[in-house]
C-alpha cells in the first residue's frame, strides 16, 4: 500500500487542493497570455487593447495570490490528515502485532518511524506530489498556449520535454537506496539518544556523563554522512535536469524569434514563448526530480508496513473452560540469537485451581517458561495446550483472557494512578477501592496530591520498586483471570507485604497460580500444592 492509498482516504481535502492548484495554473496562464497580447497591442500602437490586457493581467495576478493563500491552507490540512492516517495505520499494526514481531525493533526505532519517517514522507512524498500536480497543470496550460502562438513551438517543446523528463532516471536507484540509508541513520540516532539518556544515572554515578556527548555526536555524524550522501545524489539529478531545462528554454526562444522574423507569428510571441517556455521547462525539470524524490520514499513506506506482515491470529470459535489447565508437551525453547536451548523437552501439566511454586537458579529459564505459557514467546518446539486447545489454534486475545502475568519490573505509564490500575477499563469504585486496600496501596494514594487522579511519571520514576509491584499486582487482581503467572512479582517488597500479597492470591480456591520466586517463605510453601524445580522439569523425558 503506497502513499496514493492515503490520498484516496483523504479524498475531500485532496480534491480541493487539486482544484485550487489547477485554478492557480489557469490564472498564471491567463496572466502570461495577457502579457503577450499587451505587447502585441503596443507594437500595433493599439492603446485600448493594450490597457484592456494590462487590466486582465492585473486581475489574474490578484486572484492568483488569493487562490494561492487558500491552496496553502488546504494543503496544510491535507498533509496533517495524511500524517494522522499513516500514524494511525502504524499504531494499529503495532497494537495488533505479536510479542515477538513487536520486539523485532526497539521502541526508539518505532519512535523514529512515527516522527522522522512521517516527517520525511510529508516533506518528500506529499510535498512532491502536490508540486507535481501544480507542475503538470502549468505545463499542460503552457503547452496549449504555445500551440496557440504557433503549432511548431508545441512540437519542439514536447520533444525537449521527453529528454528533460528522462534525465533524472540516471540517479533514481542511488536516491532510493540513500534515502533508506538516511532513515536508518535517523533510527540509530533516536536509539542512541534514548539509550544513553536512559542510562544517565549510571553514567552520573561513575563520573562519566560526558559519554552522552560522545555517543550523541557520533550518531549525529552518522546522520550527517547519510544526509550528505542523499543530497549529493539528489543534487546531481537536479543539476542535470536544470541544465536540460535551461538549454531547452534557449532553444524555444530562438525558435520563436525565427518565427517572428519569418512573419509567422505576432511580436508578442517572443514574450509569450519566453514566459511559457520558462514555466514549462522549469516545471518539467522540477517534475522529473520531484517524481524521483517521491519514488525514493517507497522503501520507507515498505518499512512502515513491514509490521503488518506478522500480525496476530484472529479469534476463533473455540472456547476453553472457565478454569483451564495448562499442558506442556515436549516443550523446548532457544532464543533466536542463541545456539543453546534454555528449556529442553519439558512435559508437565499445571492443573486447574492448583498452586505451583517454581524454583531454580538464576538464568535457569523460569521467566522464559512463564513467557511461553503466557503466549509472549511463540517460536517454541513441542506443544502447549490450554485445556485441550492447542496454543496454535488460539489468538493472543483468547489466551490473555485466561492468563494474567505479573512481571518483576512492571511498566508504569505516564498517566493517573487510576489509569495505571485499570488501564482505562471501566471498574466499579467499590471493586477498585477494595483491591487498593488489599494490595496495601491506600496509604500511598492518600498521600498523593490528587489521590487516584495523580499523574505518575513515565516508568514510575517517582515510585519505589515495591510501590510499582503493588500497582502491578492490583492491576492483575482487577483483571481477575483464572490463571495467574507471578514472576518474582513481590521481590521488591518487605517480607510482611510480600507475604500478604502472595497469600491473597494463593488462598483463592478458583485460581491457578504459577509463581516464580527466589525467596520462598514458609507461609507460601504451606499453601502451595506443588513446589517444582525448573531443573527437574528440564531434565524430564
Ligand atoms: N530476550 C532474550 N534474548 C536472548 N536470551 C535471553 C533473553 N531472555 C533471557 N535470555 C537468556 O535465557 C536464559 C534464561 O533466562 P531467564 O530469564 O528465563 O532465567 P531465570 O531463571 O528467570 O533467571 P532469574 O532467576 O535470574 O530471573 C538466560 O541465559 C538468559 O541470558
3-state secondary structure 346-400: EEEEECCCCEEEEECCCCCCHHHHHHHHCCCCCCCEEEEEECCEEHHHCCHHHHH
Domain boundary among 310, 338, 358: 310
**Does 367 sit in the ligand 1 pocket, CB within 6 Å?**
yes
Domain region containing 399: 326-539
Q: What is the DSSP letter of 520?
A: -
Is the pLDDT at 521 greater than 90, yes or no?
Answer: no
**Do residue 303 and residue 347 come from a single domain?**
no
- Assess if residue 181 is contained within a domain: yes
Cell numbers that stand for 379 in this block: 517460536
Best residue among 103, 357, 364 to mutate for probing ligand 1's pocket (most ligand atoms within 8 Å of CB) is: 364
Counting from 1 in the atom list of ligand 1, the atom nearest the Cα of 369 is 18
For position 284, what pLDDT does the model report? Answer: 80
- Assess if residue 317 is contained within a domain: no
- Assess if residue 339 is contained within a domain: yes
**Do residue 189 and residue 302 come from a single domain?**
yes
pLDDT, one tens digit per residue, over 397-418 is: 888 889 999 988 888 888 899 9
Rounded distance from Cα 423 to ligand 1 centre (Å): 28
**Does 371 sit in the ligand 1 pocket, CB within 6 Å?**
no
Most confident option among 44-58, 196-210, 232-246: 44-58
**Residue-wise DSSP of 228-296:** HHHHHHHHHHHHHHHHHHHHHHHHHHHHHHHHHHTTSS-TTHHHHHHHHHHHHHHHHHHHHHHHHHHHT
**Do residue 450 and residue 531 come from a single domain?**
yes
In angstroms, the CA 246 to CA 363 distance is: 69
How far is C-alpha 58 from the geometric centre of its chain's CA atoms? 47
Average confidence (pLDDT) over 420-447: 91
Rounded distance from Cα 364 to ligand 1 centre (Å): 7
Cell 491506600 sits on residue: 442
Domain boundary among 261, 286, 310: 310
- Assess if residue 319 is contained within a domain: no
**Do residue 532 and residue 498 come from a single domain?**
yes
**Does 342 sit in the ligand 1 pocket, CB within 6 Å?**
yes
Is the pLDDT at 436 greater than 60, yes or no?
Answer: yes
In angstroms, the CA 59 to CA 418 distance is: 62
Rounded distance from Cα 342 to ligand 1 centre (Å): 8
**Do residue 281 and residue 415 come from a single domain?**
no
- Assess if residue 321 is contained within a domain: no
**Do residue 276 and residue 369 come from a single domain?**
no
**Does 538 sit in the ligand 1 pocket, CB within 6 Å?**
no
**Do residue 97 and residue 170 come from a single domain?**
yes
Handedness of CA 494, 499, 502, 503 (dihedral sign): negative
**Do residue 358 and residue 280 come from a single domain?**
no
Q: Quickly count: other Cβ atoms within 10 Å of residue 459's Cβ.
A: 15
**Do residue 129 and residue 170 come from a single domain?**
yes
Cell numbers that stand for 515 in this block: 509463581
Report the percent of the chain where pLDDT is more than 90.
34
CATH classification at residue 294: 1.20.1560.10
How far is C-alpha 74 from the geometric centre of its chain's CA atoms? 24
Domain boundary among 257, 277, 310: 310
pTM: 0.72
Rounded distance from Cα 335 to ligand 1 centre (Å): 9
In angstroms, the CA 83 to CA 115 distance is: 10
Domain count, the chain: 2
pLDDT, one tens digit per residue, over 58-77 is: 999 999 999 999 999 999 99
Nearest protein Cα to ligand 1, atom 25: 362
**Does 292 sit in the ligand 1 pocket, CB within 6 Å?**
no
Rounded distance from Cα 38 to ligand 1 centre (Å): 83
Amino acid at each position: 500500500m503506497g502513499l496514493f492509498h492515503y490520498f484516496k482516504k483523504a479524498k475531500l481535502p485532496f480534491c480541493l487542493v487539486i482544484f485550487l492548484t489547477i485554478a492557480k495554473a489557469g490564472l498564471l496562464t491567463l496572466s502570461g497570455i495577457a502579457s503577450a497580447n499587451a505587447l502585441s497591442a503596443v507594437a500595433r500602437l493599439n492603446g485600448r487593447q493594450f490597457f484592456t490586457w494590462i487590466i486582465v493581467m492585473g486581475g489574474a495576478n490578484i486572484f492568483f495570490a488569493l487562490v494561492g493563500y487558500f491552496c496553502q491552507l488546504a494543503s496544510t490540512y491535507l498533509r496533517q490528515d495524511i500524517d494522522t492516517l499513516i500514524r494511525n495505520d502504524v499504531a494499529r499494526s503495532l497494537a495488533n502485532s505479536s510479542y515477538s514481531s513487536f520486539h523485532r525493533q526497539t521502541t526508539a526505532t518505532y519512535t523514529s518511524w512515527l516522527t522522522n519517517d512521517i516527517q520525511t514522507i510529508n516533506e518528500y512524498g506529499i510535498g512532491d506530489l502536490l508540486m507535481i500536480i501544480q507542475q503538470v497543470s502549468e505545463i499542460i496550460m503552457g503547452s496549449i498556449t504555445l500551440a496557440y502562438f504557433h503549432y511548431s513551438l508545441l512540437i519542439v517543446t514536447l520533444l525537449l520535454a521527453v529528454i528533460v523528463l528522462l534525465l533524472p532516471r540516471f540517479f533514481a536507484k542511488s536516491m532510493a537506496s540513500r534515502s533508506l540509508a538516511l532513515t536508518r541513520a535517523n533510527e540509530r540516532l533516536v536509539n542512541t539518544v534514548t539509550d544513553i539518556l536512559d542510562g544517565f544515572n549510571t553514567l552520573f554515578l561513575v563520573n562519566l556523563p560526558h559519554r552522552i556527548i560522545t555517543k550523541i555526536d557520533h550518531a549525529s555524524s552518522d546522520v550527517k554522512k547519510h544526509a550528505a550522501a542523499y543530497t549529493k545524489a539528489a543534487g546531481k539529478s537536479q543539476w542535470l535536469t536544470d541544465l536540460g531545462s535551461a538549454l531547452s528554454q534557449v532553444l524555444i526562444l530562438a525558435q520563436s524569434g525565427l518565427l517572428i522574423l519569418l512573419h509567422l507569428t505576432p511580436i508578442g510571441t517572443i514574450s509569450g514563448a519566453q514566459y511559457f517556455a520558462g514555466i514549462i521547462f522549469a516545471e518539467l525539470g522540477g517534475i522529473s526530480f520531484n517524481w524521483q524524490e517521491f519514488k525514493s520514499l517507497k522503501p520507507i513506506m515498505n518499512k512502515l508496513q513491514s509490521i503488518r506482515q506478522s500480525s496476530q491470529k484472529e479469534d476463533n470459535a473455540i472456547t476453553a473452560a472457565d478454569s483451564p489447565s495448562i499442558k506442556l508437551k515436549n516443550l523446548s525453547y532457544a532464543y533466536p540469537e542463541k545456539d543453546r536451548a534454555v528449556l529442553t523437552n519439558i512435559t508437565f501439566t499445571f492443573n486447574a485451581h492448583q498452586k505451583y511454586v517454581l524454583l531454580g537458579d538464576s538464568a535457569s529459564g523460569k521467566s522464559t517458561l512463564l513467557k511461553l505459557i503466557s503466549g509472549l514467546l511463540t517460536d517454541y518446539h513441542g506443544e502447549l495446550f490450554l485445556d485441550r486447545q492447542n496454543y496454535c489454534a488460539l489468538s493472543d486475545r483468547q489466551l490473555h483472557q485466561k492468563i494474567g502475568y505479573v512481571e518483576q519490573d512492571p511498566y508504569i505509564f505516564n498517566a493517573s494512578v487510576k489509569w495505571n490500575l485499570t488501564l482505562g477499563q471501566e471498574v466499579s469504585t467499590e471493586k477498585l477501592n477494595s483491591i487498593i486496600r488489599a494490595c496495601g496501596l491506600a496509604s500511598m494514594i492518600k498521600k498523593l496530591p490528587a489521590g487516584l487522579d495523580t499523574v505518575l511519571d513515565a516508568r514510575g520514576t517517582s515510585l519505589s520498586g515495591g510501590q510499582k509491584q503493588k500497582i502491578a499486582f492490583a492491576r492483575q487482581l482487577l483483571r481477575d483471570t483464572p490463571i495467574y503467572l507471578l514472576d518474582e512479582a513481590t521481590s521488591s517488597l518487605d517480607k510482611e507485604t510480600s507475604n500478604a500479597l502472595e497469600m491473597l492470591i494463593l488462598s483463592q480456591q478458583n485460581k491457578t497460580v504459577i509463581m516464580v520466586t527466589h525467596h520462598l517463605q514458609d507461609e507460601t510453601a504451606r499453601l502451595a500444592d506443588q513446589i517444582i524445580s525448573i531443573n527437574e522439569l528440564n531434565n524430564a523425558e
